[in-house]
Structure formats: C-alpha cells, structure tokens
Structure 1
Amino acid sequence: MYSQTLELSHSNTQRTLKLKNQTQNMELKTKIHAEDGKQEIFIIREFDLPVELLFKAYTEAELFEQWMGTKVTKFENQPHGSYRFETSNPQGEVMFSANGTIHDIVQNEKIIRTFQMENTPFPAQIEFLTFEKLTGNTSKITIQTIYKSIDFRDQHLKMPFAQGINMAHNRLQELFK
C-alpha cells in the first residue's frame, strides 16, 4: 500500500523522509525531517484550516478520537495534566496505547508534552507542538520530537508511524470539510 523512501539531501546532510503512495505515485503531505547525527525529528504539515480548528483537533478528546482513530481514556490539556489513548482491533483487543504529561500549553500556539508508547522498548520522548497561522484559513503544525538517543530515533524511523501520521492528518483535514 505505502512505502517509505529515505531521500538524502546534499545540503546540510539533512535527510528528509518522503512518503509516496505507490498506487497514485504522489508525495504525501505530512513531511518528516531527520538530520544525521541528531536525536530529533520534525513532523510538518500545512492544513486548509484556521489555526483555531487545528489546535482544537489536538486538544478536544472527541475530535482527537475522530481523526486519530483512537479511544481517548484520559485527556487533561492543562499544565501538568496527562493524557492516554489506545487503539483496538475489530475484536476489541488493545493493539497500541500511549500516554504522557502536558508540560505547557498555550491556546492556538503550542503544546509541550511527553509521549510514551506503552509495551514497547522505546523510552518517553518529549514533543514540542507548534501551531502557526499562515492565513485566515490555513495553518501549519510543526512537531519536534526529541528521543533519548539517536539509535531510538533511527529505530522509530524504520517503523510505519510516518504512514500512520499522514493518514491521520488526512482524516483531520477531511473532518472539517
């Protein structure tokens, strides 16, 4: 269905993970940038949505469930609040769960939080979500994720999370049409 290719850019030795839909042979809209020798990635996506709606989609449990395809079990979007969500298969078995703590939140501007995938070898990550108004009806999110090590970051890049976040972002865009 989807494949991921790693394309090396000759400037700044920056790697840009570009995802392509093999069926339609088109580049997907959510970009993931991972620079060699750093333990971080940047996830960047522009939306045809006002920044206020984009922020709500990330902070209101009912909306988050719709576009992420997960069940929110806890969602305290305030400093020192926590969150938890899980994804189940059609038989109701939990296949994936994640949790974290909100460290800072400024409406329509930023969220700083930890992110922990449960029952995986990955330690907690810290995420800096920045919401940017481009025009009255367009916005951009930039998510900087910092891993404990370059090795953990590289292991995560080998997983299909990039396709998942792109599909989720596509659902987010469609949610408000």
Structure 2
Amino acid sequence: MRDAYILKPSNSPTLKSKKPSNTNIMELKTKIHAEDGKQEIFITREFDLPVELLFKAYTEAELFEQWMGTKVTKFENKQHGSYRFETSNPQGDIVFSANGTIHEVIQNEKIIRTFQMENTPFPVQIEFLEFEKLTDTTSKITIQTIYKSVDFRDQHLKMPFAQGINMAHNRLQEIVGGGSR
C-alpha cells in the first residue's frame, strides 16, 4: 500500500491508504496538510539526516541547486537577504522562476522568508521553515506557507505541487544523505 494525497482541501485527513494501480508509483513521503477555509498549508518530512545537514540543504546554494534541480541566481541566507532561482527545460528556456526576501535565519532551527512565483497570478507567500532534530542522525522539516487568500491557496493545491516537493525531498535525501527515508 502507499499513501495517496487528497490534493483538494478538506476537513478529513490529508492522507488515505489505497492499493497502488501499479508497482512503479512513488510513495509520497512529504506530507501536506490543508484545512478548509484556511489560508495556509503545512508541509512535513522526516529525513535520515542530522538537522545540520538538512539546514545546509536549504541554505547553501550548491546543495539547493542539486536537490531542487534549479539554477540559483541569488542566495543570501541572512536577515534582509534575498534569493532567486530559475528552472529551465531541456532546450534551455526558463520555465519557472521564483524569488523572495529572508526575514529571519536561526542556524539549524528556522528560516522565515517570502516566496513569489514570477510570471504567475500568485501573489507573494510567507513561509516559516522549522528544522527539528529527532535524533543525532534524523531530522524533520515543517514548512507553514501562508497565502494571501484561501482561493490562492486552493489554486496552488490544484497544481502538481505535492508530487514536485516530494520528488525534490527524495533528491535531497539521496544527494545529502545517500538514500534511505
């Protein structure tokens, strides 16, 4: 069995078990929780990584590029710093770009930042990233994203967002930790 996401907001749990239709379906280990009528989502994932390595994956441009599959054009992870990255297709055309401002960074604990998808109708979002040490070799990230409205949040959930962040987190585990979780 695998976990399947309910991509639309609901008051029911965000995960339900069902039998996979084939054996090549990737398990979604990154969990997304969204409640009806709220402007926020919570993204959680546990990693077989010390919290220090998980934090580095989010704050060092070279690592971030590898697991996100994107090109970092600016990456100032400090208070009042900013970042920008872009993703290109195989032909080299930029298909996605995003930017934001860093509001607070506490090493191995948290990052507060804005996130704006360029050339989309989505307004800026605010993200609260919390890094938690579970053991010396495991950690957890919780990301609370707040949207301008429930409607924008719901539109974002209709995109292939859950699968994308899960794939990126799988690459993070593989690149930084050498596999597992």
Give the structure 2 partner of residue 5 of structure 1.
6
Structure 2 length normalisation: TM-score?
0.88
Between stretches 112-121 and 18-27, larger displacement belongs to 18-27
In the alignment of these two chains, the number of paired residues is: 172
Q: Is the partner of 1:55 in helix, strand or coil? A: helix
CA distance in 2, matches of 1:27, 1:142: 19
1:16 aligns with 2:17: no
Residue 146 and residue 19 in structure 1: after superposition, are their counterparts in 2 closer, same or farther (change >3 A)?
Answer: farther
Aligned to 1:174: 174
Distance 1:19 1:40, change over 3 A: farther
Residues 1-177 of structure 1 mapped to structure 2, 5 A cutoff = 4-6=5-7, 13-16=11-14, 23-24=22-23, 25=25, 27-175=27-175, 176-177=177-178
Q: Distance in 1 between matches of 2:12 and 2:105?
A: 30
Query: 2: CA distance between counterparts of 1:76 and 1:144?
Result: 21
Structure 2, unaligned runs of 5 or more: none
Off by >4 Å, runs of 4+ in structure 1: 6-9, 17-22
Summarize deviations over 1:78-128 as a string: whole Å, max 9, x none: 000000000001111000000000000000000000000000000000000
How far 1:27 sits from its partner (Å)?
A: 3.8
Alpha-carbon shift at residue 17 of structure 1 (Å): 5.5
SS in 2 for 1:170: helix
Which amino acid is the alignment partner of residue 149 of structure 2? S
> Which whole-Å CA distance do the structure 2 matches of 1:127 and 1:18 have between them?
26
Say if 2:76 and 2:83, in contact at 8 Å, map to a contact too: yes
Give CA-to-partner distance per residue, 1:4-61, whole Å, 9 cap, x none. 534887xxx3551669875435641000000111000000000000000000000000
Residues 47 and 121 of structure 1, relative CA distance in 2, 3 Å threshold: same
Unaligned 5+ segments in structure 1 are none
| TM-aligned CA distance change 1:65 to 1:6, over 3 Å | closer
Equivalent position SS for 1:119: coil
* Separation in 1, partners of 2:159, 2:57: 25
Please identify which structure carries the higher strand content: 1
Q: Residues of 2 paired with 1:22 and 1:59: CA distance?
A: 38
1:14–1:33 contact (8 Å) kept in structure 2:
no
- 1: distance between equivalents of 2:40 and 2:67? 25
User: How much is the aligned-residue C-alpha RMSD, in angstroms?
Assistant: 2.1
